[in-house]
Structure 1
Amino acid sequence: MNFEEIWAFLGRNPMLSLALAGITVALVYTELMRAFRGFKGLRPAELTALINREDALVVDLRPSAEFEKGHIPGSKNVQMAQFDPENKALAKAKSLPVVAVCKAGMTAVDAAKRLRKAGFEKVYVLEGGIGAWQQADLPLAKGRGK
């Protein structure tokens, strides 16, 4: 297949061409936004390494009942409604990597943006949330935690 055949196909199928252009623009936009958002997404194995190597602070933003049923060992539970990156207790963690965790990874993005805005430099989000952690067969601690 050469360029002329592709061009002819696109000319014969304007709706497919438009859909392809739209999807391409959406993908480029998504990747650009991800690159400039100021924090990085981590897979469960990467989070484990970060905890072990750099003593990362893991902030679990899920409701306490969900947290108590199972959470990443050593994580701190903070409700999103009470999440305050300017809190004095968090100030000492500004030099540490901070990882936001939620159920599926969406709430954590908002928390990560707030952490970056508050001056935290090493901010991460667990991609896929606690569900991804469970799918990776990594251990969960039960109870209130630390």
Structure 2
Amino acid sequence: MEFLQQNWHWAALAAASGAWLLVDLVRNKGDRTQISPVEATLLINREDAVVVDVRDEAEFTRGHIPNARHLPLNDLARRSAELEKFKGRPIILYCASGSRSASALAQLKKAGFDKLHNLRGGMMEWEKAGQPITRKKK
């Protein structure tokens, strides 16, 4: 008890960290398709994951994840065949915040893709994590 009184700030930090993890777990409802920028980078480097940007042309032009394929959400149903050759590889979908890419994930799941991931927080989280961005087209 004396230890906690003398180190209350560490105990508070531990409690806050635990609460944050719990909130994150509840928010994602155990959704394993949601991945962080670090997890996405590991998938790209270790499993040659395909990165697909579902934002519109203007957003893509302002900056995107290096080597990302641009497939706007509005064109996804019409152009999903372009991803057929990648069905056996992990596919990471992203947009600005994660909501459009979640919709794209649902569409591709219905089309028979199973190694799908949604970049949690989208481009905003990618940039916040200090990950690289490019303006070059693939």
- Normalising by structure 2, we get a TM-score of 0.75
Given the alignment of the two structures, is residue 52 of structure 1 paired with residue 45 of structure 2, yes or no? yes
Residue equivalent to 1:8: none
Equivalent residue of 1:59, what SS?
strand
d(CA) in 1 for partners of 2:59 and 2:79? 25
Question: Aligned match of 1:90 in 58, 80, 83?
Answer: 83
Residue equivalent to 2:71: 78
Query: Which AA in structure 2 matches 1:83?
Result: L
Matches within 5 A, 1:1-146: 31=29, 34-35=30-31, 40-84=33-77, 87-143=80-136, 145-146=137-138
Percent identity, aligned pairs only?
38
d(CA) in 1 for partners of 2:28 and 2:36? 18
Q: After TM superposition, give the deviation of residue 117 of structure 1 in Å.
A: 1.0
Q: After TM superposition, give the deviation of residue 63 of structure 1 in Å.
A: 1.2
d(CA) in 2 for partners of 1:41 and 1:137? 19
Contact 1:59/1:98 (8 A) holds in 2? yes
Q: After TM superposition, give the deviation of residue 84 of structure 1 in Å.
A: 2.4
d(CA) in 2 for partners of 1:30 and 1:87? 26
Equivalent residue of 1:47, what SS?
helix
Q: After TM superposition, give the deviation of residue 86 of structure 1 in Å.
A: 6.9
Q: After TM superposition, give the deviation of residue 88 of structure 1 in Å.
A: 2.9
- Normalising by structure 1, we get a TM-score of 0.71
d(CA) in 1 for partners of 2:26 and 2:127? 30
Kindly tell me the number of residue pairs found equivalent between the two proteins. 114
Query: Which AA in structure 2 matches 1:75?
Result: A
d(CA) in 1 for partners of 2:68 and 2:101? 14
Structure whose alpha-carbon radius of gyration is higher = 1
Structure 1 spans left out of the alignment, 5+ residues? 1-26
Contact 1:73/1:140 (8 A) holds in 2? yes
d(CA) in 2 for partners of 1:87 and 1:95? 15
Structure 2 spans left out of the alignment, 5+ residues? 1-24
